[in-house]
Structure 1
Amino acid sequence: MSATPDTRADEGRRLPLVLRNRAFGAVWLGQVLTQAAVRMFQVGVSWWLVAYAVDDGRGLASGLFMAVSSLPAVALAPVVARAVARIAHRSVLRAAAALAGAAAAALAVWAWSSDLPLAAAYGATLALAACQAFFDPCLTTSVPELVDDEDIETATGFELSTQSLAGLGGALLGALIVDRAGVAGLAAGCAAAYLAAALLIAGVRFRTAAAHGENDGGAGEAATPRKRTLRSILRELPYVRRILVCFAAANLFTTAVFVVIPLYTRNVLGDGGGTVALLEASLGAGTLIGSSTGTRVPGRPTVTGAYCLGLMALALALPGLVAQRLVISCCLAVAGWCVGVIGVRFVALFQRLVPTADKPGFFAVMQAVLGATFPVASLLFGLAGDHLSAQTLCLVQAAGLVPAACALALLGARTPEPAADRPTAEAATGPAADRTPEPVGGER
């Protein structure tokens, strides 16, 4: 007996989003591959610097490397916003993945044929990070073009889980590949992942592109949103702006974990690449679980975020007191879970609060605001790592998160929660598109 259309529809709704929406599934898998590649490269090269390439000043070398890898997301934010707004999204995603694959392949050939200078590793991470700076906000902006409105939060959860999957892949493979195959093998693996992502995205049709008759390389002039500066977008979203400031301050201390992990492994635990893999995998696994369960955590986003930052502070403090591999592994898993929950709750909130016409600019500036502290954190903690123990750095991270958690809690207590209704197309085209109510006090 054949299933009725209603039965087939019910079965389709029960399937995971990436299976019942093949277009989104393909793009999501492409992001998994690209972010896994860039994370694998960052973890592997950071470990190569600490364990093999540098004798003195390992903390500074590793911190400088992580700082360079974060610069494009900040410096290119205005360029990214314009490109995402004016160029077909599939073209942006495909080109970013393909160019990153070419850069990684070139580095693999160089490392295979001769000794690799430090400058080449820094230059390669700059190129890969620049491509990722275009890829990530473009995919976030494209979510409404790939899924129905009721699936936006679920799609956001899948998209953010990419970070944790990338962390897992990078953690398990990056340092281990460097220990066994050197930077040449690492770069070759990254190139394969990027090129596979480009092929996946090339076969996807975006709804907006189809509706406006865009071809592979064309820009949809009819769909180009009104021009607004990044500053004006944030000025008209005061509630969102203050949340971003809180998380930017928190990122000054949370992102330093990527500098601390290799230093902790070598200087405190005295272990090798396998331990780096374990610790990075713990952080990635925790983030994956947090991204998957974030929508089920009750409470207002600001309250949930404040509690998660407080829990993260405790999780980062414990390895500063107890130097055991199992302890730091469990603590990083908890910290990762907090990151995953925060990401899902707040990006889903932003998807609904930000007018459609402003999303390309907003998600570019969001990446820039949150990433602006990463170069500073990497350099400061890298320099400090040459003079202070890695356990002390863990305690500094924990102490720095406490003020950010308190600020977010106060923001939630003093500011009414904005309505999370997704702006209509009509509302998103006028000057008063911002649906966010004024904070208590009425100041912008």
Structure 2
Amino acid sequence: MTATPTPAPRRLPIVLRNRAFGTVWAAQVLTQAAGRMFQVGVVWWIVGHAAAGVSDRGLASGVFLAVSTLPAVALAPLVARIIARCPHRTVMALAAAVAGLVAAFTAGWTYLAPPPTVVAYGAALLLAGCQALFDPCLTTSVPELVDDADIEAATGFELATQSLAGLAGGLLGPLVVDAWDLTGIVSGCAGAYLAAAALVFLTRFPRAATAPDEAVPSDDGSTSRTLRQILAEHPFIRRVLLCFAAVNVFSTAVYVVMPLYARGVLHAQGSTVAALETALGLGALLGSFTGAKLPGSPTTIGGACLALMAVALGTPGLLADRPAAVCALIVAGWCVGVIGVRFVALFQRLVPAADKPGFFAMMQALLGATFPLSSLVFGALGDHLSPQTLCLVQAVGLVPLAAALWWLGRRTATPPDATVEDATTAPAPAAVANASLGEAS
């Protein structure tokens, strides 16, 4: 008689069994949800309230979104130095606290008198600067909070933060503006930022570096290097990042197109904008948690997801229907989530520990550099072209980039049986420093 094997106990999610990571992750959810609520709410305020009857609503909202993304690009070198030299918990706590004070000051201004549009622009610039410091600092801190075996799971939750922020902020932003104007938006943001600062400040990082102000050697004995030096050894990573930077020109335009589509095509109110934003965030959340289960190399999955995203973003351009637009944005968001979890998890393992502060800060800057351009171009086009035409422009722009990403994977001779599970058991980053993403996966 053979003994019946006892099934292995089911492990709790990383945010529940690792209190430190769960607390810091909750703080990131609060900060990104506050930032997203502010962005979506102010764009809807410009399109549906402040700019009512004005012919350049698209350009005005595009300029606002461009301003909201400039700090991540312009401050990237400074952010990398701060993250490399200062305790990560201190950096994140101070960034969230400063953002809370900025939001509280703006809330007081909007309560006393109707603010000019430039006040919203200034607040957006300062809040985005704080977020540009908080996010790459948390990404760099993941190995300080979790075991090596949990990096994949922690990365999935970290990437899901933006999806949760899209759900919460995208849903609340337009609704709060319709109910309480800008005062309600910035007051809620202030509370969220200050709560996040308290959470991080009270959390102990179990694996924090003992001397954060010194250059930490990598596994092969080298010190931290610039992004250019890192990418010189990883030409495949360089090509992938450039491809995704081009993708962002068309994909991130959705944040400009959605409010214009809701107002100009669906003739709807803030609740419809909230539904569209929520659909995008829900799809990205699903993609963040299901992306690791898809078979195939990152480039194969990424190329297929970009092609599917092109179809999804083009659908509202052909069908002027609210349910169709919601379903299309769920699919588009899912593609974004899948691509993010596959590639960022591999970057975590391929880049040496000493290089991560510079790499992730500069990666965020490189990928975000096209967002101001996208916002301005599509915002200006929105004053001359219909929102449905803008949807089709997005779709057409993504098609050649999907083919390019797939072709890059073919050039690297990715093993045909490579899957994401290989990445979870891969050796330390330094051991595969000379391997491409396709080979590592």
Answer whether TM exceeds 0.5 for this pair: yes
- 1: CA distance, partners of 2:166 / 2:382: 23
Whether 1:121 aligns to 2:126 is: no
Q: Which residue of structure 2 aligns with residue 53 of structure 1? A: 50
- 1: CA distance, partners of 2:161 / 2:225: 30
- 2: CA distance, partners of 1:145 / 1:387: 50
Q: Which residue of structure 1 aligns with residue 338 of structure 2? A: 341
- 2: CA distance, partners of 1:439 / 1:129: 33
Q: Which residue of structure 1 aligns with residue 407 of structure 2? A: 410
**Contact map agreement 2:170 2:278 (CA 8 A) in 1:** yes
- 1: CA distance, partners of 2:290 / 2:89: 29
Whether 1:25 aligns to 2:22 is: yes
1:172 positional shift: 1.1
Aligned residues: 419
**Contact map agreement 1:352 1:423 (CA 8 A) in 2:** yes
Alignment of 1:12-411 (within 5 A): 14-54=11-51, 55-209=54-208, 212=210, 219-221=212-214, 223=216, 226-411=223-408
The superposition leaves residues 115-171 of structure 1 with CA deviations (integer Å, 9 ceiling, x where unpaired) of 101110000000010001001111111111111111101100000000100000111
**Contact map agreement 1:230 1:361 (CA 8 A) in 2:** yes
Q: Which residue of structure 2 aligns with residue 4 of structure 1? A: none
The superposition leaves residues 16-37 of structure 1 with CA deviations (integer Å, 9 ceiling, x where unpaired) of 1101000000000000000000
Structure 1: runs of 5+ lacking an equivalent: 1-6
Partner amino acid, structure 2, of 1:173: L
- 2: CA distance, partners of 1:14 / 1:181: 43
1:386 positional shift: 0.1
**Contact map agreement 1:59 1:385 (CA 8 A) in 2:** yes
Q: Which residue of structure 2 aligns with residue 423 of structure 1? A: 428
**Contact map agreement 1:234 1:362 (CA 8 A) in 2:** no
Partner amino acid, structure 2, of 1:280: E
The superposition leaves residues 191-213 of structure 1 with CA deviations (integer Å, 9 ceiling, x where unpaired) of 0000010011111111333x62x
TM-score of the aligned structures, taking structure 1 as reference length: 0.91
1:357 positional shift: 1.1
1:417 positional shift: 4.0
**Contact map agreement 2:85 2:214 (CA 8 A) in 1:** yes
**Contact map agreement 2:73 2:368 (CA 8 A) in 1:** yes
- 1: CA distance, partners of 2:313 / 2:361: 29
Partner amino acid, structure 1, of 2:214: E
- 2: CA distance, partners of 1:242 / 1:330: 31
The superposition leaves residues 226-282 of structure 1 with CA deviations (integer Å, 9 ceiling, x where unpaired) of 242222122222111111111111110000000000000101110010000000000
- 2: CA distance, partners of 1:208 / 1:410: 40
User: After alignment, is 408-417 or 99-108 more displaced?
Assistant: 408-417
Structure 2: runs of 5+ lacking an equivalent: 1-5, 416-421
- 2: CA distance, partners of 1:227 / 1:391: 47
**Contact map agreement 1:238 1:438 (CA 8 A) in 2:** no
1:223 positional shift: 4.1
**Contact map agreement 1:85 1:224 (CA 8 A) in 2:** no
Q: Secondary structure at the match of 2:169?
A: helix
Q: Secondary structure at the match of 1:269?
A: coil
**Contact map agreement 2:237 2:436 (CA 8 A) in 1:** no
Partner amino acid, structure 2, of 1:53: A
Superposed CA RMSD in Å reads 1.9
- 2: CA distance, partners of 1:150 / 1:39: 31
The superposition leaves residues 66-105 of structure 1 with CA deviations (integer Å, 9 ceiling, x where unpaired) of 0110101111111111111111100111011001111111
Q: Secondary structure at the match of 1:270?
A: coil
1:422 positional shift: 4.3
- 2: CA distance, partners of 1:334 / 1:438: 25
